[in-house]
Amino acid sequence: MTGPLSTAQIREKYLQFFESKGHLRLPSYSTVAPDPTTLFTVAGMQPFKEQFMGAPAVFDGVANRRVTTAQKCLRIGDIENVGRTLRHCSLLEMLGNFSFGDYFKQESLTWAWEFLTSPEWLGLDRARLYVTIYEEDEEAFRIWTEVNGLPADHILRFGADENFWPADAPKEGPNGPCGPCSEIFYDRGPKYGNDTWAEYAETRESARFLEIWNNVFPQFDRQDPLPDGTPVLKDLPFKNIDTGMGLERIATVVQDVYDFYSNDVFAPIVARVAEMSGQAYEGPQSVSHRVVAEHIRSVSMVIADGSVPSNTGRGYVVRKILRRACRHAYLLGLREPSLFKLVAIVVDRMGDAYPELRENLAKVEATVRAEEESFLRTLEGGIQRLGKLLSGMERGATLSGNDAFVLYDTYGFPVDLTKEIAEEYGISVDEAGYAESLENAQNLARAGSKYGKSELFGGNMEALDGLSPTVFVGYDDLQAEGEVVALVGAGERLKHLPAGSEATVVLSRTPFYAEGGGEVGDTGRIEWDGGAGVVRDTRKTPQGVFLHDVLVESGELKEGLNVRAVVSGERQAIQRHHTATHLLQSALRAVLGSGVQQKGSLVAADRLRFDFSHGAALSADEIAAVETLVSRWVSANFTVTWQEMPIADAKAAGATALFGEKYGETVRVVRVGGSVEYAGQTVSSMELCGGAHVTRTGDIGAFVILSDENVAAGVRRVEALAGEQATAWVRDRLNAAARAAALLNTSPDGLEARVTGLQTQLKAAEKETAAVRRQLAEAQMGGGAGGAAQTRELGGFRVATLKLAGIEGNDLRAAADKLLDQSGADMVVLAGDKGLVVKATRDAVTRGAHAGQLIGKLAAAGGGKGGGRPDMAQAGVTDADAALGALDTAF
């Protein structure tokens, strides 16, 4: 084969290997996890949580307790490491093989060994493999040493902090499947470091020994610990296997490159960053190239999967990653939006494996560009603020670390930039103080995320102490007057907020809906005498204090001011999508059965998304039936009403509640005032819900389902549109069909027949060219027995050789088969224009012939690289004649 395996080839080999061991190959699930407890998919096993707990292992109707996937994962916890360590990505592809109560440790570890070391698969050098195991796991030790033959001094034992998954699960949680694990490391050699494996036991950090693959043995169901803290590990009903190998890391090893930024996926992105910025990829600034390249890849993927930058939840993470990339692009001197230009390269490198990237290219580019523009504006606000600070200081003074931090946190202003600008004023920056403020904020944020709180102001909830819950009037009114009761920026209460700055504003009354129950927070404007601002997002604290993210456009906002708050027109679209979501849920239950349970949802102005439990893809008929049901409700123009009531009454009335959700004593019930008929059932809609709705179903307008996909095992995701958005989408599709039809000289109705006809023609034409190529090969071979071939004795074998002009790839291989079959030679060596094939008979192989070794020498002489199996090998060369010329000396 030519050169080392590409990332795509490694991915494919892995999946094929485990298919050959009886696994069912499934496509990657979305990075946007349906599970409300995790924002993103962080490991290959995550979509199979239910199967690990004993749910039936049936996937789209196929039962199999062995599954293999390449799963795209987003690891937020590793974001700060990206660009600094050379082994962490925020987006990673995890190659995994899973057993749901089927095989266990022995198969898992021996197959891992076979895949890594067998020349048929990755063929890595056994002497360079090392492993860690859980300190009490004698079974793993035995399999590694006795079955796989790994020397005992290649094995280290660690505690639950390292060799348990999730780490420290017995003591710290989370609840759910967990177990000991065994990690496989690859020794990248002394050029990466002088440390030894024994030293790794102490250092646990190495550029030389790279962790490539974790084999986890989930055999326990972790439960809440006893009151005295004793861990509770219940045996799972059966034992599982969960493994994960980082594709980026294994590609780095196989391609023997310094880090994954030099592999075949990242190198072109890094090169483009260097080209756009005019900054070479070298020295300390190379961190910026890396951050940009890595982050644009992850952001492209999560946006393609349906996340958009915002100030809360998943959107907040997307914004954070993207802004980090923007900052580094800025450091490289890029002053105009430019990251969006990299999206096309990401799609080029990964679009084959993840078609959703290709489908959403335009959307991703537009989203990234808009965010870049807004970021660059914010940065300008920061430059103004910094200018003000600096002009009030003396030369030789020091800017406080906290000021530098506020610039960073509020305006996304990199400290390096602050330093650079301050220097022009002869002012230095207290970097230690900055680092301290940053660390405080990070600790707070971490503490916040660990306990599931939102990341408000870097976690500083104290800034909100003493505020009463906001009066929310936005179910009925989209405009209201309120008083500014607090302004908070970068964790501090502020008295006033000048034009150009952004902070969180608390009002006494508000019409703005705060993100919750799947519905996005409202956007809009606030206005006061002499000023105005944009509301970019709205959230609320668990205590009911509404937080508006506001950018002041003109005038100055002050505590105590009375403002007029006006919700943007997008709210109509949000309400349409919310009521439509309720109807969708009822319709799905009517059409698919009562097994449909809501697993997650998103209600936004531009679309709705609904995740629900269901084991199979929706058929075209089912989708049509669901749409028809919803449109019956719409045409009936029923009233939609809401009412607060005790939870017991709501349940007695049959309102749909979210399974597993904790509700208070009083709940809000949203009811559609009429029902529709479907296949003899009367279908109605009544749900516990705090969201904003239309007042009549007729307001929803058109309704269309865009897609149905699988986001976790047994969980489907439907995306749909209502109202204008639906009509515009349908119009778009009709136009696209009309354009395609025009290209093919037919009408949209005639498209199918025309395409089928073209496919038949294409197949016939392909058959014809294949026949012509075969004839061409045969003519050059000089008939059946390969009369044109030269045969000589070399190293004890009869070797037939021939050059075939214009023949490549499959045809070259087929010609080699034929020649080997008919010429009576032990080995054949065939050259095309740019390729070589060597084959040997079985008998010759037993006598020591090796096609792979021979081709390696020939390819080297022909300016290429190659290797392969003893009976068959292929290589690409630049000079086929030179390769053939080396034959006599190659034995």
Residues annotated in a binding site: 578, 582, 689, 693
- The answer to the question of residue 714 lying near ligand ATP (CB under 6 A) is no
Of residues 87, 154, 385, 609, which one binds ligand ATP by CB under 6 A? 87
Question: Which of these segments, 87-95, 393-401, 513-521, 668-676, binds ligand ATP (CB under 6 A)?
Answer: 87-95
- The answer to the question of residue 92 lying near ligand ATP (CB under 6 A) is yes
- The answer to the question of residue 371 lying near ligand ATP (CB under 6 A) is no
Residue 249 or 314: the one with the smaller Cβ distance to ligand ATP is: 249
- The answer to the question of residue 15 lying near ligand ATP (CB under 6 A) is no
- The answer to the question of residue 107 lying near ligand ATP (CB under 6 A) is no
Tokens read off for 517: 């129950």
Residue 182 or 579: the one with the smaller Cβ distance to ligand ATP is: 182
DSSP per residue over 776-812, as a string?
HHHHHHTTTTTTTSEEEEETTEEEEEEE-TT--HHHH
Question: Which of these segments, 32-40, 88-96, 393-401, 616-624, binds ligand ATP (CB under 6 A)?
Answer: 88-96
- The answer to the question of residue 89 lying near ligand ATP (CB under 6 A) is yes
Of residues 11, 65, 188, 249, which one binds ligand ATP by CB under 6 A? 249
Q: How far is the CB of 95 from ligand ATP (least distance, A)?
A: 9
Q: How far is the CB of 147 from ligand ATP (least distance, A)?
A: 21
- Give the helix ranges, DSSP H, for 639-750: 647-652, 723-743
Q: How far is the CB of 210 from ligand ATP (least distance, A)?
A: 8
Tokens read off for 279: 């900054």
Residue 248 or 305: the one with the smaller Cβ distance to ligand ATP is: 248
Judged by CB under 6 A, the number of residues near ligand ATP is 16
Rounded CA separation 237/51 (Å): 11
- The answer to the question of residue 11 lying near ligand ATP (CB under 6 A) is no
Q: Which among 47, 148, 166 has a CA at the least distance from the CA of 107?
A: 148
- The answer to the question of residue 35 lying near ligand ATP (CB under 6 A) is no
- The answer to the question of residue 72 lying near ligand ATP (CB under 6 A) is no
**353-to-11, 295, 348, 483 alpha-carbon distances in Å:** 9, 19, 10, 53
Instruction: Specify whether the CB–CB gap between 73 and 124 falls below 8 A.
Output: no
Residue 245 or 565: the one with the smaller Cβ distance to ligand ATP is: 245
Of residues 137, 221, 242, 248, which one binds ligand ATP by CB under 6 A? 248
Residue 298 or 874: the one with the smaller Cβ distance to ligand ATP is: 298
Q: How far is the CB of 207 from ligand ATP (least distance, A)?
A: 12
Which run of H or E residues covers position 58? Answer: strand 58-59
Residue 108 or 585: the one with the smaller Cβ distance to ligand ATP is: 108
- The answer to the question of residue 177 lying near ligand ATP (CB under 6 A) is no
- The answer to the question of residue 486 lying near ligand ATP (CB under 6 A) is no
Residue 90 or 697: the one with the smaller Cβ distance to ligand ATP is: 90
Rounded CA separation 284/295 (Å): 18
CB atoms within 10 A of CB 294: 27
3-state SS, residue 886: coil
Question: By beta-carbon distance, which residue lies closest to ligand ATP?
Answer: 246
- Amino acid sitting at position 653: A
Name the binding residues for Zn(2+). 578, 582, 689, 693
Q: Which residues contact 533 (CB under 8 A, 6 or more apart)?
A: 505, 525, 526, 527, 550, 551, 552, 553, 557
Instruction: Specify whether the CB–CB gap between 381 and 388 falls below 8 A.
Output: no
- The answer to the question of residue 213 lying near ligand ATP (CB under 6 A) is yes
Site map (CB under 6 A) of ligand ATP, residues 513-552, x = contact: ----------------------------------------
Give φ, ψ of 338 to 5 degrees: -140, -20
Of residues 83, 179, 180, 246, which one binds ligand ATP by CB under 6 A? 246
- The answer to the question of residue 200 lying near ligand ATP (CB under 6 A) is no
CB atoms within 10 A of CB 701: 18
Rounded CA separation 69/353 (Å): 12
Q: How far is the CB of 229 from ligand ATP (least distance, A)?
A: 25
Residue 183 or 365: the one with the smaller Cβ distance to ligand ATP is: 183
Distance, C-alpha 808 to centroid of its chain = 37
Of residues 66, 75, 577, 578, which one binds ligand ATP by CB under 6 A? 75
**382-to-525, 549, 746 alpha-carbon distances in Å:** 22, 17, 57
Planar angle of CA 774, 779, 785, nearest 5 degrees: 95
Of residues 97, 214, 454, 601, which one binds ligand ATP by CB under 6 A? 214
- The answer to the question of residue 297 lying near ligand ATP (CB under 6 A) is no
- The answer to the question of residue 385 lying near ligand ATP (CB under 6 A) is no
- The answer to the question of residue 108 lying near ligand ATP (CB under 6 A) is no
- The answer to the question of residue 290 lying near ligand ATP (CB under 6 A) is no
Residue 114 or 570: the one with the smaller Cβ distance to ligand ATP is: 114
Q: How far is the CB of 92 from ligand ATP (least distance, A)?
A: 4
Rounded CA separation 712/689 (Å): 25
Q: How far is the CB of 816 from ligand ATP (least distance, A)?
A: 38
Of residues 33, 70, 86, 94, which one binds ligand ATP by CB under 6 A? 94
**By 3-state DSSP, what share of the chain in percent is helix, strand and coil, each rounded to 5?**
40, 25, 35
Q: How far is the CB of 440 from ligand ATP (least distance, A)?
A: 25
Q: How far is the CB of 321 from ligand ATP (least distance, A)?
A: 13
- The answer to the question of residue 506 lying near ligand ATP (CB under 6 A) is no
CA torsion sign for 458, 459, 464, 468 is: positive
Question: Which of these segments, 27-35, 120-128, 209-217, 834-842, binds ligand ATP (CB under 6 A)?
Answer: 209-217
**170-to-86, 175, 226, 242, 803 alpha-carbon distances in Å:** 30, 9, 12, 18, 65
Instruction: Specify whether the CB–CB gap between 31 and 301 falls below 8 A.
Output: yes
Of residues 83, 177, 180, 244, which one binds ligand ATP by CB under 6 A? 244
Of residues 78, 436, 553, 556, which one binds ligand ATP by CB under 6 A? 78
Residue 89 or 634: the one with the smaller Cβ distance to ligand ATP is: 89
First to last CA, the chain: 20
- The answer to the question of residue 802 lying near ligand ATP (CB under 6 A) is no
Residue 78 or 436: the one with the smaller Cβ distance to ligand ATP is: 78
Q: How far is the CB of 213 from ligand ATP (least distance, A)?
A: 5
Q: What is the CA radius of gyration of the chain?
A: 32
How many helices (H) does the chain have, and how many strands (E)? 26, 41
Rounded CA separation 489/501 (Å): 9
CA-CA-CA-CA dihedral for 97, 101, 102, 108, to nearest 10: 40
3-state SS, residue 372: helix
Q: How far is the CB of 354 from ligand ATP (least distance, A)?
A: 17
Question: Which of these segments, 239-247, 753-761, 869-877, 878-886, binds ligand ATP (CB under 6 A)?
Answer: 239-247
Rounded CA separation 6/4 (Å): 6
Place of tokens 């990341």: 455
Rounded CA separation 122/253 (Å): 10
**Which residues on adjacent β-strands are paired with residue 534?**
525, 551
- The answer to the question of residue 579 lying near ligand ATP (CB under 6 A) is no
Of residues 86, 133, 143, 245, which one binds ligand ATP by CB under 6 A? 245
CA torsion sign for 539, 545, 546, 547 is: negative
Q: How far is the CB of 556 from ligand ATP (least distance, A)?
A: 44
Which segments of 490-561 are extended strands (E)?
492-494, 496-497, 502-507, 509-510, 524-528, 531-540, 546-554, 557-558
Rounded CA separation 364/348 (Å): 14
Binding site for ligand ATP (CB under 6 A): 75, 78, 87-89, 92, 94, 211-214, 244-246, 248-249
